[in-house]
Amino acid sequence: MVVGTVHSEGSLRSALRIAPPALDLLEFRVDAFAPDSRSLLAAAPRMKLPLIVTVRHPAEGGAHALSAARRRELFFDFLPHASLLDVELRAVGTLKDVLAAARANGVRVIASSHDFRRTPSSTELRRRVVQARRAGADVCKIAAFLRTPSDFARLVALFAQRPTLPLSVMGMGPLGKVSRLLFSRLGSVLNYGYLHRPNADGQWEARELKARLGEL
């Protein structure tokens, strides 16, 4: 599935016009709209696609240096509109009440990690998948910066190791765009693109990504 990320007023305007089959889901980057998220919250019921709600941790690219308490508050504000929540592996303990509320309301959970300067070792990547499974996640999302073919190969290898839960894997940097095509074909279940402007190096425009994957 292809996800369009909403992280600016421009992308929000685009999201309001998008309907199936143009994309499969939208991601609300709620942290990008803090401290005043009222416009985003008001727009949520008007969306024509299922929503992933993300309030990103500051250490993994989150905007506005939000505290854990503020992130928790925003997750609960948007939970009624969510089909999935994205919570970082580093935060699953801190936000365990958010995860419990998600499960109680039939909202699926993505446990994510983001490395903007490197690709972790193979051992570390496998550890994160295990950690996501133990946390009760429905999807393990891994985003990493790719510099070399070896970096690329470590992420490819994740799909060959019979992972114990669905993976969403993507590269950033010089090999990012190529990686997102390949990983989708290997089984990445959520594949992210931008709607207005990129917020990570190596992203496709979401509707173009959907078209390219259709060709493949």
Active-site residue list: 114, 141
Q: Is the dihedral of CA 10, 198, 192, 128 positive or negative?
A: negative
Which parts of 66-175 fold into alpha helices (H)?
A: 68-78, 96-104, 122-134, 149-160
In which order are the strands placed within the sheet that holds 2-6? 167-172, 139-145, 108-115, 84-88, 51-54, 25-29, 2-6, 191-194, 204-205
Beta bridge partners of 144: 115, 171
DSSP assignment of 21-81, as one string?
TS-SEEEEEGGGGTT--HHHHHHGGG-SS-EEEE---GGGT-STT--HHHHHHHHHHHGGG
d(C-alpha 24, C-alpha 42), whole Å: 21
Report CA Rg, the chain.
16
